[in-house]
Structure 1
Amino acid sequence: MMLSLKTILLSMANQETGVRGYLVSGKDDFLAPYHNGIKDYESSFAQVKELTADNPAQQTRLAALNDRALGWRNDVAEKVIALTRDSKTVEEARAMEARGAGKTYMDGLRGLINEIQDAERSLIIERSAAGKAAVSSSDWISIGGLVGMSAFALIAGFALYRGIAAPIANTTHTMRALADGNLDVAVPFTDLRNELGEMARAVEVFKQNGIKVREMNARESALQAKSADSAIKHGASCFCGGCRRFYPPHFQGLRQCRPQPFRRSGERTGKLRRSRRC
């Protein structure tokens, strides 16, 4: 039961991560943790509910827990997903995330899980104390095994939570960095052979596409700069008399008859005198 409760908490974290990933990237692939988290939650919740069928207090806590989970899904997750699908309302979805719209639901859900776990531990202790005088040595071994298994389940569940939640948080941070234009950020966990690895590899594809676009823009800018430099040099050559070949056919005579500067004042005077004699 303890492991199922941890799985419930982990499944909610996966759902939350999937919604955030979709909000950052806008790609449906990032919703995979959300949909898988819903399946894991429903399966684990059914197991816990069945295991506590003889405990009305636990059933009441589980009903409240389920209300919180469904409330977050309907009032926060589905709304953020719907707003993100429309480019006109994506900023509204981001505003919901920034306000921490789902924090109240998640905090309440974690609190209820802690209450259920504490009640279950207390129940185990009470049952153990009540049968203490009558149990045989074999019974003690069984109880010891039960306690050991419970402790192992708690430790394993906590390790599982820490081992998955932290990588998911790192991947979400990487997606935010890529969305902000930081294409030099490293994408972790691409070598994992699980859903987290698939999500990381999808992020890596997104990063590589961004790098290709950046390189194409850089090459285009370099070509434009080179073209502009050639145009400047060509214009300078024309200004210095190096573009005679561009005279149109009906102006070819001008190329031959451009006025030449007088080299000496005497030449100017002599030409003026000759023009008077004419």
Structure 2
Amino acid sequence: MPNTFGLNRTLGGAIGLIALLTVLSGGAVLLTRNQLQTANEALTHSGQVIRALDMFRAAMLNQETGLRGYLITGREGSLEPYRSGRPALDAAISRLRNLIGDDAERSSLLADAVAAARMWQADIGEAAIRRSADPATRAEAVDIEADGKGKAMFDTLRGKLSAIEALEERMQAMQNARVAQAERNESLALWGGTLLTLLICAGIGFAINRLIVRPLVRVMGFVERVGDGDLSGQLEAGTGGEVGRLAGTLNAMVSGLSDLARTNRTATLDLNAAAAEIRASAQEQAASVEQQFAAVQETAATVDEITHSGAQIAKRATEVIATAQATAQTSRQGLRAVSDTAKAMEAIREQAEAVAGNIVSLSEKTQTIGDIIETVNDISERTHLLALN
């Protein structure tokens, strides 16, 4: 038997190939999905950093606005933006440090911005507020705020914050590119995997139709023809595996059935010929028996006639005896006639016994012939049943 792939290996290989392609496609989609998630997380992080930078700027702007208002009006209420801006600045600095983490470049820029902000708070904001509280030094407080040092500090922290923002914007642009690439990769993996799966499924369907379905259809048609009694055809065993072995087995079975049918037909013909001969012999025996039976009937009629004649002879013998006294010669003649008649009757009796023996023998032969005819009829019925099968 050649080493061929069976149906279970073929179907198992097809299912395994589809499963492998599905796993690979799913892995590619999962990988691109992870890249997309990472890029989105980086974008979210950059957005949080930029919002924290805006909080930093807003807190410093509120402090500068509150300080200017206080210097212009001299009212304590004007310092409210300045006072609310200090904790907001601390919160923004803390959030930025948490968001930036161990990044050296961003940490250095943030440290410079925080240093400029703290210097402005100490040298400009707090100094101007202290001097502004005393009318004698109020003019100095205005000069401190109007001096270019505060603007330089603001320019420094704005520059550092803008540098951090520029880094985050470049990071966002890069992550947006990664997101777009990841989306393209994901779409390519999905569509490519789907297309390959469809192509493989189509190829597997074509292979199954060619290697399994079509041979099975041919086998079923061949089996139907065999079921209708056509034992003359042969099935082409062109494929391997179970279908090929099935075709070979069916061919061997049909060949055996054909040989058996020929043997049965020959045996049936022989049995029919023997039955015909036995039937002819039985008919001849029956005709002979009928002839012998007619002879027996004729013999019986003759015996009846002889018996009737004997009765008449006995009557005549009585008359002869009656008249014997008249003449002796007539008596002797009558005695001789009686003796001859008795001998004839004895001979007739022996012939009747012989005929009865022949009748018994013929009856036994007739019984034997009846048994033979019954056996022949039984054989004929079985032969007819075998021929039908």
Give TM class, smaller chain. Answer: 0.3 to 0.5
Q: TM-score, normalised by structure 1?
A: 0.46
| Bigger proportion of residues as helix | 2
